[in-house]
Structure 1
Amino acid sequence: MNRLLANRGLLQIFCSLLLVIMIMSASSYVVYKKSISGIYDKVTQNNRLVVKNIIQAFDSSFTTVNNLMFTIHGLPFDPVKSGDGGRMDMAQVYNLQDNLASLISSVDYIEDVIVFYDNQDLAITANGTSDMKLLFQNKYRHDTYNASYWRSFSKSKRPFTVFPSSDYMMQTEGSKLQSRQLIAVMDGNKYKLSDKNVIILINAEKLLQHVNMSSMIPGSSMIVLDGDRKIVLSTEKNWDLVEVLNDVYFNQSQEDSLTRGDFEYHVYQSDYNDFIYIDKMPYQFQNIDTVASGSRIIMVIAIVSAVLLSGLLSVYLYLPVKGILQLFGEGRVKGNDFRKIYSGIVKVQRENEALRQRMERAEAEMCRNAFLQVLESQRSSDIARDVLKYEPFFFRDRSFVMASLEFRLSQKGDRSHPAMEPRQIAELLRKELGSMAGSGYTAVFHHREMQFLILLGIPQGGDRQTVISGWAAFIQEANRDVLPGYVLRSFVSKDYEAHVPNLLSAYQDILNGMLYRNVQDEAQTVIDTAAVQYVGDVYFPLEKMDHLARCLTAGLTEESIQIVTDIIHENARRNIHHYHLAHVAKSMFLYLIKPAKATAEGDQELMQLESRFIRRVEQAYDHREITEALLEVVKKVAGSRGGEPKSKLNPAFISQYIELHYMNNLYLDHMAEVLDTSPKYFSNYFKKTFGINYVEYLNKVRLAHAREFLKNTDYNISEIGEKTGYMNASTFTTTFKKYYGISPSEYRKMAGEG
C-alpha cells in the first residue's frame, strides 16, 4: 500500500509540475503574440552572425600573437654572450628592442612585449629595458603575476598559454598608478625555438574594440574560455557559469544553445585553438512598455499560481535532499548521504576520464586520416594544406624511412593467444617501439586490414642501415615475445628528408617492393626495397602450356600437376619478381580453363573460379601460395570433367586422345589397339559417330595446330610439319594445300599481313 501511495504521489507531483509548465507556456505564447518576438528572432539570428565574426576576429588576433612570438624567436639577435660570463651585449639588446617596437607598432591591442632570458635579470620590452623585478613591481604590478612567478613559470614545461585577463597596476606619466585590464600570453617551450622567454601583454579593452564587441545586441555579453575551460576574458563580472558548463561540458558539437532564466546562452568552439566562446543574450528586448506591462500581469498570475502550487507541492516534497540524492543512484537512498554524494562525484570523474580517452583516440584517428590522405594523393602538389599541420606528429628527426608491417596468423602458431584487433596491435607497437635500438622518433599508422605503416626517424648521427638492423631485431623479438602466433613481414623504403610530400615517395617504394620483390627473398622478415634486383628471365614455355591443356583434356591430373609445379619452381629458381610470377600464374590459368569451358555448369561458376583465383594470387604471401592456387584450379577443372571414362570406345575419349597425341604416328591399327577393337570396326564406328572418316579428322586436327604454329612461331615449314605429325615437309605442304588451297608459306605471309 505504501508503495502504491509513493507512486501516486510521484504522479501528483508530475501533474502539478505539468500544470505549471502549461500555464507558463500559455502565458509566454500570449506575450509572444503581443510583442515583437518575431523581430527579436531575426535580430537573434543576425547577432549569431555577428558573434561568429567576433570569434573569427579573436582567432585572427590570437593567430597574430602566435605568429609574432614565432617571429621574435626567429630574430637573429642573441644578446647573451655564453663565452663572456653570460653577460649581455647591449648593442644586441637595443637592436632587439628596436625590432620589438617595430613588430608591435601595427598591432594596436598589444600593450607591450617582454623578452627575458634564464639566469638574466634584464627584461627587454618594446619601450626599453628594465630589471625584471622592477618591471613587474613598478610598471606592471600584480599580486600573483610578479617577476618570481614568471621566472618559475618559464622554467616549467608548458604549451602556448593564454592567462586570464586581470587588473594590473600600471605606472603612467607623473608616477601615478592606473589600473588596466591586461591579458598575458606566454610562449610554449615544448619545442623551444630559441633561448628567449616571450610574454605578450594584450590590452583587453583595445582587444574588445578590435574585434568590434560593440556590434553585439545591447544587453548581451561574452566570456572566453581556453581549451582547459579556464576563463580568459569576460565582458561581465560575477557571471555564474556553473549551470551552463554542466549542460555543455560533455557536448562534442561545435555549437550549442541553451536558455537559463532571462538569457540565452550560445556556446561556440573555435576551430583554431579549441577556445570556448559563450554569448549571453537577453531572452527578450528590454525597456519596451508593452512587453513590460504584459510581463507584470504574467508575473502576478505566475506568483499567485506558484504560491498555490507551492503549498500543494510542499506536502509531497518532504525530503528534498533525499530526492536530490536519488539522482546519483536507484531506488531509496540509505546510509551516509555524503558518501553517496562522493560516489556520484567519482562516477562523474570516471566518465570524464573516459571522455578524455575518447578525445585522444579521436585526435589519433584524425592524424591517421591525414596520413592516409597524403598516401592517396596522386602527386605532392595534390596534398592539402591542412595536412601540413600534422607534420610534427609525423616527424621529429631530419630524415626518415617508411616501413610496412604485415601480420598473418601462422598456420602452426601458438593458438593459446587470442587474435588481436588492429587497434590493439597499433597501441602495442607504439608502446614497444619506444625502446627500439638505433631509431629516433617513430609513428605508427594502421593502413588497412592487418597492415601497418611505420615512420622510423633517423636520429642525428645515425644512418639508414642502422635503423633497418634495429627494425629487423625489433620484429624478431616482437614475434617471439609480444606477438606469438603471427607471421610478420616488413618492407623498408629508401631514406628521405622529413617533409610531408616525401611520404608519397616512400610509400611508392613500399608498393614497388611488394610488387617487384624477388621470389627467393620472400622468406625474409625484412625486405629492403633498395636492394631488389631486376630479373627479366621469366620462364613460360608455350609447348608445355599446350601440353598442360591437352593433359587436362585427357584427364591426366597428376601429369598436369607436375607441369604446373615444374614451371613455378623453375621461375622461383631464376628468382624472378613476385609481380612477374603472378602474371605467369594468371596466364597459366587461361590455359587451365580451356578444358573447363566445355564442361562447366555455367559462365557464373567459371567467373567465380577466376575471381577466387585472381584474389588468391594477388594476396599470395609467397610463390608456394601461388602454386597452391594453381593446383586448386587443376583439381577443380579435372573434377568437373568427371575423371577417366569408363569405356575407351566413346567420342570424348577418342577426341581427347587424338588432341593429345596428334603429333605421333596415329595409324588406324594403332588406334584400334588402344581402343581394344579391330581396325575395321573402329573405322566404321568413327565415321558413324563423327560423320567423317578417321584420316580426314586427324588431318584437320593436325592442320589446325599447324596454322597456330605458322601464325605465332618462327619455326620453318619442315619443323612445323614434324611437330604436327607429318613424316616430311613435302607431305605436310601437299596436305595443307589440299585442305586450304594455298601453301603453308603463303598462309604465313597472309597471316603476317593481316
Structure 2
Amino acid sequence: MDETDFIRYTGTKAIRSETGVIDVKGRIRWNGRSLFAKLLLGFLVVIFISFAFNLLAYHFFYGQMRGQLIRSGTMGLSKTVDGYEKQLRQLDDLLTRYYFDNAVAALKKGSIDSDFPIVNDLAEEFKTIAGHYNLDLENVFIYFKNEGFVIDKNGFARTDDMFGKYYASREYGPAFWEKQFAEDFHLRAFPVAEFKRFRYDAAGPDGGRYFPVIVKSRIGSQFYAGALVDADRMFSGLAQTSGHAFTILGADGAPFYRTGAAGDALPKLPAGSSFVRHADSYYFYQTGPVSGLTYVSIVPYSSIAAQLSKLNALLLTLFAISVLVSVVISVLLSARFKHPVQRIVEALRQMNPAIRHRSSIAEFNVISESLEHMFRSIRRKDSLLQKYGYLDKIKSVPPIDTEAQPPAGADRPFHFVMMHIHYTREDGLAGGGDAARAANVLECVNAEWSRAFPDSVTMPIEKDRLLTIVFSDTDVSGTVAGMLDSFKAAFDRDKALYRLTIACEPRLWQPSEFTAAYESAAEMMRRRRLNDETQVIATPGAPGPIAVWTPDEERGFAAHLEAGSEAQLLALLRGAMQRLARCDAAAWQYRQFAGDLLSKLLMALMAHRIDTSLLAGARAPSPYDEIESFVSAEQYESFFERVARQAAALIREKREARDPIVDFVVRFIETHYGEDIYQDLIADRLNISTGYLRNYFKEKTGQNLSDYLNEYRIGKAKQMLEGTEDKIQDIAAKVGYQNANSFTRMFRRLTGVTPGEYRRECLVNSTE
C-alpha cells in the first residue's frame, strides 16, 4: 500500500517515516520495502546465522577438547625432548673435538708448570663456552687421570680441590670422577644433584642443581671431557608448558630429574601407547634417542575439564543474553538510522555546513562538525601560506606555489627581530616538550607585537627561534627597543626555565633586504655573553676569532694527555681560560672551545680503547648536553678540570695496567734506549719467539713495539733539546740513533718539525 492508497483508504493525511507509513493518529503500518524493514530483516538473519554457528561450534569444541589436550601434551613433550636431545648432541660434538685438539695433546705430553699459556687459553675457551653457548652450562672441564688435575673455566685445579671444594657434591665426590675412567661408554649423563661451591670472596658456599655429562674416547683414554649442566635453567628454557609436573628417568628407570608435584611412583605405560591416564592426570612418555633418558610430562585433566565446563556454561548464558540484546538493538538502530543518513546526504549535496542535526549517532555528528572545520581550515590555509611566503623570501627560496606569497602590504620597510630560546634542564624536568613550550612563548610574544604593531608578523623559523617583522614606513626603532626591554624584564623572571637572546639591529630595512636582515641577525646571536639573563643584542656582526692555543700548546696538551700528566693539563686549561677572559669571548666561543677539547679527550680515550661513557659519569646524559647548560666561566673551568682529571686518570690507569711481559719490555727500553735494541734481543731475554713478542705487545698495548721504542726515544730527545745545548748528532747518539739523518727523519715524522726547528720554537716560547 503506497501513500496515495493509504490516504484514499483512511481519509486522513499520512506522513512517511523510517518504519513505513504513519497516519496522523500515530498508527504504524508495516512497509516491507522501507529501509527500516530491510535493515531489521538483515539484522535478524545475521543473528540467526551467528546463533546456529556458535551452537555447532560449541558441540564440536566440547567433543574435541580431550583429543586436543592429548595432542597438545604429546606435541609439547616432543618439543621438550627434541630440545634436550639437541643440546646433548651439541654438547657431545663440542666435547668430542677436544680429543683431537693439538693444545690438549701438547698438554698431555708436557708439564703443567711449563704449559701455563695453554692452560690459560683452554680456561678462556671454556669460560666462553659456558658463558655464550646456548647450552645452559655451569662449567666445562678436562680431567687428566695420570696428572691428577682438572682444567676448567677458572683455570688449573687439583682433582681433590675441584670436586671437594669448588664443586662439592655428596653424590659426586672425587672417587666418582676417578671411577669413570674404568667405565665403558662414549657419552653418559648422570642424575641431577646438589653441588656446593665454596668461594673465598663470599660469606658461605653457593651452588645449584647440576647434572654431569661425560664424553669419553679411546683415543684419549688418559683423560676425558665433562660438563656440569644447570638442570633448572635448562628445563626453564626448553619446557613448552609451565605449571605442569615433569620427570626424567634414567636408562635404569631411576629418577634423573624432577620438577613440580610429580609423585615418586609413575604409572606403567601400556604397550604401543605414548600416554596413560592415571588419577585424573595424563602421563606422556618419550625416550630420547641420544641419551636413552625417558621424559615424562604430567598434565592434570580434572581441573582443566572443570574449568572448561564452567566456561562453556558462562559462554552459553552470555550468548543467550547477547541474542536478546541484539534483537532489541536491531529494532532501535533500524528505526533511527534512516533519518540521519538523509540529513547527511542533503548536507553533502548542498555543501552547506549549516544543515546540522544533533543525533545520538556519533559518526553523523563527526561528519557535521567536519564540514564546519573544512571551511575554517581553508581560512587558516591563507595565513599559513603567507608565513611560508615570508620564509621563502627571507632565505631567498623561489616560491613553488603562487599561493605561497607574502601579502601585498609586505613590500614596505621593516624592523627585524630574532629571538633564540634555550630551554634549561630544570624546564625539561618540569615536564612538557619543547614544542609545547615554544608554542606558549610564541603566543605570548605574538600577542604583544600584534597589540603594538597590528601589521607585524611573528612566526617560528626553527624549533628554538622566533622571528618578528615589524612593518613601518618610518623608523620606530625606539619603540621596538622599548618593547625589547619589557620582554627582557618579563623573561628574566623565568630565567630558571629558559634563557632568551634577542637580536635586533636598530635600523629600518628595505623590502629587498629580507635575506640580509636574516643573516645579520643570525650573526648577532653569536655575541651573547656568559650569563643566565635575557640579552638584547643591537651591535651588528659576529665576534672575531680567538686563537685559544698556540700550535706548541696543542702538541703539549696531546703529549701530557698521552702521559696522563694531570698537573700539566690543568695548567694549559687555566691558561686557555685566562686567554678567553682577556679576549672577552662570547658564549658560543666558550662552547666551541669546550666542544673541541671534549673531542680531543674522547679521541684519546678511544685510541687507548677506553670506554668513553666513563667520562660522563652520573652528572649528565652526555658531556655535550652538560656544556649547553653553562652560563659562567667558572662552570666551564670546573667542567674542564673534572673531565681532564678523569681522562688523565683513565689513560694513566690504562698505561699502568700491564702484565709482566709488557712491564719487562717497557723497563728494558727505559733503561737501554741509548743502545742498539733489537726485538730478537728482548725476545731472547723473555725466552719467547720474536713473532710472539711482537703480536703480544701489539695486542696488550694497541701499539707496535718499534713505534713505542721510537716514540720513547724522540720523547727523551725533546727533553734534551729543551734542557741542554748538546749538538743534535750527540743527542741522536744518546737516544740510540747512530745515524743523525735517521734521527732527523724520525723526529720530523713524529713531531712535524726537525730537531733544530723544535729547539728554536722552545727558545722563542721561553723568551715570551
Global fold match (TM > 0.5): no
- TM score, norm. by length of structure 1: 0.40
TM-score (norm 2): 0.39
